[in-house]
Structure 1
Amino acid sequence: MIHKHAAYYLQHLKSDLPAGLVVFLVALPLCLGIALASGAPLFSGLIAGMVGGLVVSWLSGSQLCVSGPAAGLTVIVMTAIQTLGSFQALLVACILAGMMQLALGYLRAGIIGAFFPAAVIEGMLAAIGLILIIKQIPHATGYDSHYEGDESYMDETAQASFLDVFSALNGISPGAVIISTVALVLLIVWGLPALKRLPLLARIPGPLMAVVWGVAYQLICTRFAPEWAVSAKHLVNLPVSASPGDFLSYFTLPNSGYLAHLSNPQLYVTAATIAVIASLETLLSLEATDKLDPLKRLAPTNRELKAQGVGNILSGLLGGLPITAVIVRSAANINAGGKTRIACFSHGLLLLLSVVFLAEYLNGIPLACLSAILLHTGYKLANPRLFRQFYRKGMNQFLPFVITVLAILSTDLLAGMAIGMVIGLFFVMKANYHAAITLIQEGTHLTLMFNKDVSFLNKALLRKLILRIPANSTVMLDARKAGFIDHDIMEILNNFLATAPDDGISVEIIDLYGKEKIHQHQAIVIKG
């Protein structure tokens, strides 16, 4: 079995290692930025990224989902540090949240993710794509805005994000524009079918070429045309360790002070909040990643909750931020050609090695080429063809999709998904309402057909159809297609059967009382 798994991973190694490098390059500034936005030590974001890559990747049932610090938790983390009084207290809350997620996994709470309609999940992906485009345009032009917001939904209004886009036009850096424009062209060209037919070039992922281009441009311009190079603030900024001892000093390990925080009731409220929000974001990201997976694999949700629980426990013990599965990095992984968990693992390994050995070299990568990768990923997620496809499917699919997109853009991920769910459920109930029962009339002979499981939601429809049955007619109640008929529906049918003779209506029943035995002895059945 081990040999079989090893062969599977080795088979995809040529795709996974370059994809892991791309995810690492995308995740690196985001790990630092999210820590900065949370009011936490910068290295805590990198610790969370390492745990997500090195540990959660192997515990997870998903081959492509990438875990790490999430911008969706930024506000919760910042508020928690202020409310609890210290970063150390947040780490204790993170450990407790991980234990709660483990419990949720064993309680099989992961099934919640299966109740999100496809149109809502696709709407979430499209909204994330648009968020990426809106928030990466400033970096692509060299505008000095905050990188920590690039993955976030919370605490950032749509108005502020759009203002950043317009402000970027007033702060254009020629070097950044050249880097991002050429990188985008490279990414588009690399995706052309003609290029994929060339064996040598097909093995090199486009995002990797975009990074190589950005570094080469910066090196050449720094030496020969400094005015065209991008400034230091628009390069990756990684803490540089002078020695292995420096690296170890970045970790915050448990001590006796951790126990003192357990007497604070607010700690448990914070831990529960982190556990619930992180679990929901993880389940949504997992569902979305499964949809994007070119191999169409399905990841077990309960196993994912357990993996995230272990990840948060470890992250808290080592001094890292809370983690979740993150759709932006997962989408970048898939877009870069990742096929197995090796891609996610290698991104965590590169985070570790970069901090110890490569920080000064990675600090030469322009943010503009990373922005181009995310812009390209955003376009793939929010492709205009997707909007046309849902429009052609009809309003019952198009409206939940579009409303989810607009709701996420104007609020945050979880609120937007909640709004999309309400709209999606409305259309599901509406479709079920009309399709569950039909009345077919041929002269004085009518058939009341139960087409699927019938619940109390169909009471109003059933009453309406019964009122249409004329006096002195013959009715067949056909329940062969129904697996279950609700008690409330049976009660209405029993009442109809009891009063039918008064109107001269004869009734024939096919397979009705096999569905529900309640009140069978009270029914008056008249064979037509």
Structure 2
Amino acid sequence: MNGTRVSAFLKLSKRDLKYDLPASIVVFLVALPLCLGIALASGAPLFAGLLTGVIGGIVVASISKSPLSVSGPAAGLTVIVLGAIQQLGAYETFLLAVVIAGVVQLILGILKAGLIGNYFPSAVILGMLTAIGITIIIKQIPLAFGLTEPHAFEMDNGGGLNAFTDTIISSINVGATIICFLSLAVLIYWPRLKGLSKIPAPLVVVLIGIGLTFAFQSTPWALNPDHLVSIPIVSSFSEFTGLFIFPDFTQILNKEVWIVGVTIAIVASLETLLSIEAVDKIDPFKRNTPTNRELVAQGIGNMSSGFLGGLPMTSVIVRSSANVNAGGRTRQSAILHGIWLLVALLAIPTAINLIPLSCLAAILLHTGYKLAKPAIFKSMYVKGLDQFIPFTVTVLAVVVTDLLTGVGIGIVVSMFYILRANMKNAFKFDVSKDSDDKNRATLTLAEEVSFLNKVPIQQKLYNLPKSIDSILIDGQFSKFIDKDVIEVIKDFEKNALSKGLEIELNDVSYKKG
């Protein structure tokens, strides 16, 4: 009976399993290195990355009604997570912020705030993602060259810049560098190879990395344990349960924890809604995901992840698109990929610990490039300065400051252009000849005329050319006219009549205000 209920709840389909099973394996192979790499970039335990992938697959996909979306740790949150862990001082305190983020998302879903993404300027959102890509690239460059020792980045006061440069060069591991650059080449060119492209490039990268690690063992290019993934190896159930880290609820009144939690909730929700929109567009069956239900699912997922020691998660476009391309049909694929991650964590941790960190760095460098590739800057420039400037300002602000401050600055700049456009489009002004061959001006008000349009309308009315003999102010197409604007028009009417200027008002009244 219970099995029937679970099957009905998940809406599992034997008919679609022949598509979803192979797709889930592809998604698993893509997700495994990404979960590890994102945990690495976030400054969190690598186990946390895999745990988040498991929860994103099994928990979120079971609740969500998205047929093809795959959830897990997101590259877009690495900057926030890294800064938050350092800011809050303890990983357990950070986990409490993740739980709070999940609660906020759950509330947003219940309040039907799934349309929240529509209220953020697209230029700012794209700028945020691009800045995250740049930040990921900057932070992964040291690992790409095998620079794992903290002292390698400290300036030597005695030797100055030359000593610092010499320290960096001497600390570079040639083996790790070769693995990283070869991995990048595979990630770029492998998908272009016909017949072989069905095998996920990240899997090929991991296999090459492990192979070269063994090949370099007896050479000067050998990698040491610090250059490899290190997740705990468990031999019993009690050891496995001992890996979980629980949030520190004694910090519940800590203001910083709440700020981090709300920040994660907002950014994760935006990234999820953007990803869901993108996945629905590439869905061959053109199905629509209920966004409010998705926020509820993500909220429960983040609450679960934070409570058990995982990272914040979102719907992720890389894994989701891999699911679509592999022929996935239903959310069974996402659920099964979470199960495979759990099996890998329990059954092959030794094999996972053979993966070089420079492999993961290459995957993240490639991910960062896709988020911040030059073509994005070009496409934004083509759209016009009103899109390009807010986008560029957001990118610079996020990279130089932090994500929340940068997005705030981007929104302010974007609002300037929105208000500017609104002011320009407040009315249409034409001059024509009437039946008596006199110059007649017509000022047609826009559909929405707010108080922001007061100044441009006032300036236009009081700076009419002297050749104008009469004017018509037409509000018949307006659904709303602000009272301040109506007062300006009424004052101008009195002024015009006192000067002998013929004026006609058409459907301009306080009823519109």
TM range (shorter): 0.7 to 0.9
Preserved contact between residue 116 and residue 270 of structure 2 (Cα < 8 Å): no
Partner residue in 1 for 2:117: 113
Letter of the 1:405 counterpart: V
User: For the residues of structure 2 that align with 1:108 and 1:3, how far apart are their CA atoms?
Assistant: 24
- The CA deviation string for residues 17-73 of structure 1, in whole angstroms up to 9 with x for no partner, is 323322221212443664xx46xx775565444323321233345544533485414
Partner residue in 2 for 1:266: 253
- 1:313 lines up with 2:303 in the alignment: yes
Aligned ranges for residues 433-448 of structure 1 at < 5 Å?
A: 433-442=423-432, 444-448=439-443
Q: Paired residue for 2:54, among 50, 58, 74?
A: 50
| Structure 1: gaps of 5 or more residues | 147-163, 520-528
Aligned ranges for residues 479-498 of structure 1 at < 5 Å?
A: 479-498=475-494
Q: Paired residue for 2:127, among 123, 126, 129?
A: 123
Give me the TM-score of the superposition, normalised by structure 2: 0.80
Letter of the 1:381 counterpart: L
- 1:455 lines up with 2:450 in the alignment: yes
Q: How much does 1:266 deviate?
A: 1.8
Q: How much does 1:411 deviate?
A: 1.4
User: For the residues of structure 2 that align with 1:372 and 1:144, how far apart are their CA atoms?
Assistant: 15
User: For the residues of structure 2 that align with 1:459 and 1:3, how far apart are their CA atoms?
Assistant: 56
- The CA deviation string for residues 419-439 of structure 1, in whole angstroms up to 9 with x for no partner, is 111111111111111122232
Q: How much does 1:399 deviate?
A: 0.6
User: For the residues of structure 1 that align with 2:232 and 2:502, how far apart are their CA atoms?
Assistant: 84
User: For the residues of structure 1 that align with 2:200 and 2:144, how far apart are their CA atoms?
Assistant: 20
Which deviates further from its counterpart, 292-301 or 212-221?
292-301
- 1:249 lines up with 2:238 in the alignment: no
Give me the TM-score of the superposition, normalised by structure 1: 0.78
Preserved contact between residue 128 and residue 378 of structure 1 (Cα < 8 Å): yes
Letter of the 1:399 counterpart: I
**Alpha-carbon distance change, 105 to 165 in structure 1, aligned in 2, over 3 angstroms:** farther
Partner residue in 1 for 2:27: 19
Q: How much does 1:458 deviate?
A: 0.7
**Alpha-carbon distance change, 253 to 395 in structure 1, aligned in 2, over 3 angstroms:** closer
Q: How much does 1:135 deviate?
A: 2.0
Q: CA RMSD in A?
A: 3.6
**Alpha-carbon distance change, 47 to 322 in structure 1, aligned in 2, over 3 angstroms:** same
Partner residue in 2 for 1:204: 199
Letter of the 1:144 counterpart: T
Preserved contact between residue 65 and residue 344 of structure 1 (Cα < 8 Å): yes
Q: Paired residue for 1:67, among 46, 64, 72?
A: 72
User: SS of 2:72's equivalent?
Assistant: strand
User: For the residues of structure 2 that align with 1:351 and 1:390, how far apart are their CA atoms?
Assistant: 38
Q: Paired residue for 1:382, among 372, 390, 398?
A: 372
Partner residue in 1 for 2:223: 230
Q: How much does 1:462 deviate?
A: 0.6
Q: How much does 1:109 deviate?
A: 3.9
Letter of the 1:203 counterpart: K
**Alpha-carbon distance change, 385 to 437 in structure 1, aligned in 2, over 3 angstroms:** same
Preserved contact between residue 105 and residue 265 of structure 2 (Cα < 8 Å): yes
User: SS of 1:144's equivalent?
Assistant: coil
Partner residue in 1 for 2:497: 501
User: SS of 1:227's equivalent?
Assistant: coil
Q: Paired residue for 1:325, among 314, 321, 332?
A: 314
User: For the residues of structure 1 that align with 2:19 and 2:166, how far apart are their CA atoms?
Assistant: 46
Partner residue in 2 for 1:155: none
Which deviates further from its counterpart, 14-23 or 233-242?
14-23
Letter of the 2:238 counterpart: G
Aligned ranges for residues 501-520 of structure 1 at < 5 Å?
A: 501-513=497-509, 517=511
Q: How much does 1:382 deviate?
A: 1.5
Q: How much does 1:315 deviate?
A: 3.2
Letter of the 2:54 counterpart: M
Partner residue in 1 for 2:352: 362
Aligned ranges for residues 413-424 of structure 1 at < 5 Å?
A: 413-424=403-414
Q: How much does 1:95 deviate?
A: 4.6
**Alpha-carbon distance change, 433 to 12 in structure 1, aligned in 2, over 3 angstroms:** farther
Partner residue in 2 for 1:152: none
Preserved contact between residue 123 and residue 401 of structure 1 (Cα < 8 Å): yes
Q: Paired residue for 2:143, among 117, 139, 144?
A: 139
Residue identity over aligned pairs, in percent, reads 34
User: SS of 2:253's equivalent?
Assistant: helix
User: For the residues of structure 2 that align with 1:461 and 1:170, how far apart are their CA atoms?
Assistant: 64
Which deviates further from its counterpart, 269-278 or 379-388?
269-278
| Structure 2: gaps of 5 or more residues | 1-7, 151-163, 434-438
